[in-house]
Amino acid sequence: MAKASEVRIPASSIPLSRHFEASVAVVGTPNSGKSTLFNRLTGLRQRIGNYPGVTVERHVGVLSGVEERIELVDLPGTHGLSAHSIEERLAVDAVFGQIEGQRPPDGLLAILDASNLYQGLFLIQQLLELRLPTVVALTMNDAAEASGLKTDIDALSAALGDVPVLPVVATTGKGVHRLKEALAQLHEQPAVEPPGAWPELTEAVAPLAAASGVAGVLLGRALLDKDSAAGRRVAAELDEGALGELERLRRELIGDEPPLALEARRRYAWVREALSRVQQTGSPRHSVAARVSQFFNQPWPGTLGLFAVMLVVFQAVFAWATPFMDLIDGASGSLGALVHGWLGDGLLASLLADGVIAGVGSVVIFLPQILILFLFIIVLEDSGYLARAAYLMDRVMRSVGLSGQSIIPMISSFACAVPGIMATRVIPNRRDRIATILAAPFMTCSARLPVYALLIAAFVPRQQIGVLNLQGLVLFGLYLFGIVMGILTAFMIRKTALTGPRPAFALMLPEFRRPNLRTVGMQLLARAKVFLKRAGTVIFTVAVVVWALAYFPRADISQAELLERRALVSQAQGGETREETPAAIDNEIAALQLERSYLGRAGKFVEPVFAPLGWDWRVSAAVIAGFPAREVVVAILGTVYAVGDDADEATLAGRLKASTWPDGRPVFTLPMVVGLLIFYAMCLQCAATIAVIRRETNSWRWPVFAWTYMTALGYFGALLAFQLGS
């Protein structure tokens, strides 16, 4: 529900760059401790925007603690300058200064993970060939030493052509001050001669670079990788003769081999040679943590461990959040009562208490659950566990035509499909990616939770079945239902519209590490802000609009008219009369009022569509109004039933139970409730998800398909449940 993506500032509108003395790009391999260090260097002086056209986050900050105004841009992690995913491509484009509207970097901060120098050095030698002023931050040295790796920092600096190498411990801040000072002076630092990892490449393009004025490093990349951003730019800038010359050089230098394979061979040969000078391998210290992680590396303990972790997460989301939710519920209830106490029953009081407080309150109540869920997902991701989950689940996912990499987006989708769909960017294969995107909205997101919680609390008996609680079991079943339907959808899509060869699967498995509290805290804070901002804007607006639609027009219903109407009803029911209290008469007037309001009319208008599902006009109206964002449904039901004839019941659940058809039959029968639950489990009632599918697939085809398909599933599922059950 925390729609992380849509309240974003386009990066180009951040007017920072102009006033900076230098812009430094932070580059490193994934999991090198880059973001933790970035947070250390900038503190809270950072902004998150989006790269133009894509949902990749762009983190920009100001170097803190120095006089110079230096802009730091935290780029997505990449293993090299030939990109294999959208995020890598952005990092590469940014390094080359190829992103429209962005200042090209004046210098680089290269992050080198001491426990993974092998891959780190591969990236760094490519970066050094850009001949930008560069400083290297050596991270994770403590972890490397614990596993027996001793790094000679002077030798490392020498191997890299005397680039400054500064060790930092990002978690404690040790070494960060020296790094800041180096960064402040970076743009004045002379560029260094890059290490000769592949001098033939540089030499080969040098004459062409001199003749054409295009930088040698760009020509080198274009030579290796025609389809890269560098390749496209070179193709646009060079004339035909020069391009022919480049083609000739390519044949001469590389021959028939795949250029990237040759590049990997050449560069890693250099890396191995450098590594032998720079790092000594000793015997690792056998810590308890290492032994525990070794135990969970075995097939069965690893898989069972994963299930245990997931169980703890879901348990925590429901158990830990309850006290906080009760607190928010109580606060919003007494606030509403207070407003009615002050202002009576007039227009303003109704707007504030029934519209704003009841509407927004019924959504804000889910903040604790969302934060707990995000806390777990952030911690699991930062500790490197999510990658391991992908590894463990690969076999299972393969049997439905996906890969283990689809697991991470699906787990994230339990919080919200929007970040989940964004997380599919790590899947390099397009078919797999789209199949995962279509499966993600089926996962029970935190916005479905309020609806489930409300209906289960109201209609599933509190019964123990052995050690298990029936309500919890039903909830678990709904989660399972979503998972099964999602995976089934991906499977069918992969077998029909998106057939193709089985994609490659290569996954980096980082060592487990303790997540950094600061980083986790900052991410959590950002999530909370996004959620509250949404509750304060979108949901506030929806709540007020729904209230107004339910309140207006104010028809003048007199007691006489009511009595006349009741006579008709009692005639129909066989002439029995009921004792009427003044409060009951008030409530009946309110109910009649609601029925004649715009919302009531709209609900009645669509009622025939949903009548086969057993829904009355109130449920229909709430469902229709919930299409842009399903979490508002509870808010709408809250508002509708707060002004209706069932308002005597203290809780919304009680009001739902008491609600009847005009002839006295209850609306919420078991088959109807089951159908409603199925409807919510399936239906794609979320404008933000539709928008993010549109952006991530870059076409309207998939969001339109997903919406139609999921709505149809929901409708016919509910129809089936109601018709079979009644």
Partner 1 sequence: MKPGETAVIDAIHELDAPTQRLMSLGLVEGAIVEMAGRAIGGDPLEFRLFGCGISLRREQAQKFLISPAARGG
- Residues binding partner 1: number (CB under 8 A): 47
SS3 call for 456? helix
84 is a contact residue toward partner 1 (CB under 8 A): yes
117 is a contact residue toward partner 1 (CB under 8 A): yes
Which of 504, 560, 568, 650 binds partner 1 (CB under 8 A)? It is 504
| Tokens 């029934």 sit on residue | 354
276 is a contact residue toward partner 1 (CB under 8 A): no
The residue among 318, 347, 594 whose CA lies nearest residue 471 is: 318
State which residue, 396 or 567, has the beta carbon closest to partner 1: 396
Specify the amino acid at residue 443: M
Least Å distance, CB 86 to partner 1, is 15
87 is a contact residue toward partner 1 (CB under 8 A): no
Which of 61, 76, 80, 105 binds partner 1 (CB under 8 A)? It is 80
Least Å distance, CB 381 to partner 1, is 16
Least Å distance, CB 403 to partner 1, is 8
Beta bridge partners of 24: 72, 107
State which residue, 506 or 560, has the beta carbon closest to partner 1: 506
Distance between CA atoms of residues 25 and 73, nearest Å: 5
394 is a contact residue toward partner 1 (CB under 8 A): yes
- The beta-carbon contacts of 373-377 under 8 Å, at least 24 apart in sequence, are 373/313, 373/317, 373/414, 373/415, 373/446, 374/2, 374/415, 374/523, 374/524, 374/527, 375/520, 375/524, 376/313, 376/316, 376/317, 377/411, 377/412, 377/415
In the shown chain, the binding pattern of residues 410 to 439 toward partner 1, with x for contact by CB under 8 A and - for none, equals: ------------------x-----------
What angle (nearest 5°) sits at the alpha carbon of residue 342, between those of residues 341 and 347? 95
In the shown chain, the binding pattern of residues 284 to 303 toward partner 1, with x for contact by CB under 8 A and - for none, equals: -------------xxxx-xx
Which of 172, 281, 537, 723 binds partner 1 (CB under 8 A)? It is 281
264 is a contact residue toward partner 1 (CB under 8 A): yes
257 is a contact residue toward partner 1 (CB under 8 A): yes
SS3 call for 268? helix
Distance between CA atoms of residues 433 and 448, nearest Å: 24
272 is a contact residue toward partner 1 (CB under 8 A): yes
What angle (nearest 5°) sits at the alpha carbon of residue 322, between those of residues 321 and 328? 90
Distance between CA atoms of residues 365 and 321, nearest Å: 10
SS3 call for 158? helix
Specify the amino acid at residue 193: E
List Cβ neighbours of 437 (8 Å cut-off, separation of 6 or more): 409, 421, 424, 693, 696, 697, 702
Which of 9, 44, 261, 348 binds partner 1 (CB under 8 A)? It is 261
263 is a contact residue toward partner 1 (CB under 8 A): yes
Which of 178, 268, 469, 720 binds partner 1 (CB under 8 A)? It is 268
State which residue, 293 or 669, has the beta carbon closest to partner 1: 293
- The beta-carbon contacts of 213-218 under 8 Å, at least 24 apart in sequence, are 214/238, 217/129, 217/130, 217/131, 218/96
Least Å distance, CB 498 to partner 1, is 18
642 is a contact residue toward partner 1 (CB under 8 A): no
The neighbour count for residue 703, using CB atoms within 10 Å, is 22
Which of 311, 327, 509, 712 binds partner 1 (CB under 8 A)? It is 509
180 is a contact residue toward partner 1 (CB under 8 A): no
115 is a contact residue toward partner 1 (CB under 8 A): yes
Which segment (14-22, 80-88, 578-586, 677-685) binds partner 1 by CB under 8 A?
Answer: 80-88
Distance between CA atoms of residues 246 and 230, nearest Å: 13
Q: For binding to partner 1 (CB under 8 A), which residues are involved?
A: 79-80, 82, 84, 115-119, 122, 144, 147, 149, 257-258, 260-261, 263-265, 268-269, 271-272, 275, 281, 297-300, 302-303, 391-392, 394-395, 404, 428, 503-511
